[in-house]
Each structure stands twice: as C-alpha cells, then as structure tokens.
Amino acid sequence: MRPISLIKVPFLFCLFIEFQIVVSFVAKGQERSDLRVAFWNFENFFDPFVDSTRTYNEFTENGSQHWTASRFYKKRNNLYKAILSISENEPLAILGIAEIENQYVLNMLFDKTPLKTHNYRIIHYEGDDKRGIDVAMVYCIDKMQLLHSEPIKIKNIKTRDILYAKFSDRHSDTLHVFVNHWPSRYGGERETIKLRALAAKTLKHKIDSLVFLHQTIPKIIIMGDFNDTPEDPSIKDILCAGDALVNLFADEKKLGFEGTLKHQYTWQIFDQIIVTNSLINNKTGLVYKKNSATIFHADFLFEKDESFGGVRLFRTYVGPKYFGGYSDHLPVYIDLIYR
C-alpha cells in the first residue's frame, strides 16, 4: 500500500489564537536544521459514519458516544492546532500516531487543514483491532524519503499492528522507525501482562533481524503508547535487554513533565521513544540531539482536576461524558541533528 499524496498549496502566513495556541508559518528558507520526531495517541479519533463491516460503531451519532459531525470537526481542529504547536511552526520530520480509525480521518486532518502546507504524506494499514483503531505514521517529504513500509502482526492477538517504515534523509542516512500501540491494561494489569510481553518479543525479533541483516546496529527509533512504563518487564527486560537500545523516556526528571497520562493521583509514562545507541554514539550523520526528549505539556492540553487535585488532561470524553478536549495522552518528541 502506497502512502497517500497530499495536495501542495502556495506559501501561507496566518495566525491562530485559541486555547493559548499561537502558531505562525515560516518560509522554507528559515527552517531549522534539526528534525523533530514525535508521537501522540489521539484518543479515539473516529469518523462519524456507521461502518457496516464492523460490529463496533459506538462513535456515531446514534451510538453510545453520540459522535456527531460537529464533534468530529472540533476534535480534528483541536488536533491540528496542537500539532502545529508541537512542531513550533515547522513540519515534523515524522509523527507516529495511535488510535485513529481509518484513512479518512487522516486525510481530513492532514489534507483539509493548514497542516497541508507542510507536505505531509501518510502511512496507514488497516489492522485487526476489534474496535477498529489503528496506528499510523506521517512524514514530511521535504525532510524524509520513504523507502519501505509494512505492518507487523502480533500473532494470536486481535490488536493493533506495529507499523514499520524505512526512511532516507536528505543526507542519504537511513532511519528505521517503529510505531506501537501495545495491548491495554483493560481487564487488569496482571491479567494482560502476557499480551504486552508478546508485543515486545515481536518487536525485538524484528529489530534483531535488522541488526543481523546490516551486521551492525542501524539507526532505529521505536515510539508509541506501550501501556507499560519504562520499568515494566515488557520494556525493560524484553525489549531493552542488552546494550543496543536506549530508552530516552526512562528518567522523568529530564522530560519537562512527570508523565504522559494520569490515573487518579498518579502520572505515568506510557508514551515513550526508544532509540538504538547508534543514534547517540555515532560521530557522523543523523544523531539524537542531547536532552531533547520532551513530554509536550502546553497549558491548553489540561484542565483542573476537581477529584484528585492539580490538573488532568483535557480529554474528548471521560466515559460517556463529552468534554470536547484533545486527548487522554500527552505527545512526546525528540530532535535529531546532523554531525
């Protein structure tokens, strides 16, 4: 399946001010030299239409979530303004995404909003998740060239695929990227631990095959909503066993915020970016920009937490109740530079 081409439009300069977002477009000649790679779980970004091929249609006008066209467009507009803020006026090199329903919602977000000026292309494959939510990847063709992409199935589970893509940058350096949304803790953390372990083993096997193929450690970025913290066995003991992988989100004190999602009083880091040590230690080419790993935590993504104190994420829904916010996860990102 080829990525969908989006329409180019002439240079545009405009200003958006809403929910404390101030974003301006800049000319290509003013672009910074680093590449920003981000991930965000969009929280149930469904279209408002009934899908007759699926049993799950709660996010429709007559479904339990009463998901109308106006609510869909509000969600879309929230997302594009936040993405513009994350990117700081420039195209992201790569954006990994979780919890999107289909190609339609991606086209509406990246082709029918001001994001279209950033020359993004979409990579998406329909997966086997029972609710119909998938992972996807978006990249800027001015920064990266797609060489190959494919979905990786996790055997014996009807869950989200792991999305793999191989890129070449403008300096002909090769970058391998994996986007993940591992099985959730719904039904209990202990009861579902084996499912995330299986996802970790599937991903580890693919990474090991890349190392074997190249006979060296290639430049790899692993990102996603893992539904586990950096200290949980699926990540620490299975995926990151050995010295090849470095979890850039293992130390919360260096990330600018204490977590990517909140459960009652506690913030946790489920959304992470992990890289091979070749992206840190190599002396030439594309490398990780030191201390750039960040949990994006702009004020407009929060609201006051009346139940447990402090703030909580400004979500689209909390259970069946509609709030009209952004997501139940915070975005994360890293920057890459050239040596």
- Angstrom distances, CA of residue 27 to CA of 11, 95, 168, 233: 7, 21, 23, 45
pLDDT at 11: 35
pLDDT at 6: 42
Residue 171 lies in a domain: yes
Residue 27 lies in a domain: no
Domain span including residue 245:
32-338
Residue 3 lies in a domain: no
Q: Is 309 exposed, middle or buried (0-12, 13-18, 19+ CB in 10 A)?
A: exposed
CATH number, domain with residue 256: 3.60.10.10
Give the 3-state secondary structure of residue 95. strand
pLDDT at 32: 57
Give the 3-state secondary structure of residue 268. strand
Q: How many domains in the chain?
A: 1
179 Cβ contact list (under 8 Å, min separation 6) = 39, 96, 97, 98, 135, 136, 137, 162, 163, 223, 224
Distance CA 59, CA 51 (A): 10
pLDDT at 15: 37
Residue-by-residue DSSP string for 279-292: HHH-SSSEEEPTT-
Give which of 197, 193, 160, 167 is closest to 95, Cα–Cα: 167
pLDDT at 12: 36
Give the 3-state secondary structure of residue 124. strand
Q: Which residues of the chain have pLDDT under 70?
A: 1-32
Distance CA 248, CA 107 (A): 31
Residue 211 lies in a domain: yes
What residue type is 328 in one-letter code? D
Residue 330 lies in a domain: yes
Residue 23 lies in a domain: no
Distance CA 283, CA 132 (A): 43
Distance CA 147, CA 120 (A): 15
Residue-by-residue DSSP string for 221-247: EEEEE-SS-TTSHIIIIIIT-SSSEEE
pLDDT at 10: 36
Residue 19 lies in a domain: no
Residue 299 lies in a domain: yes
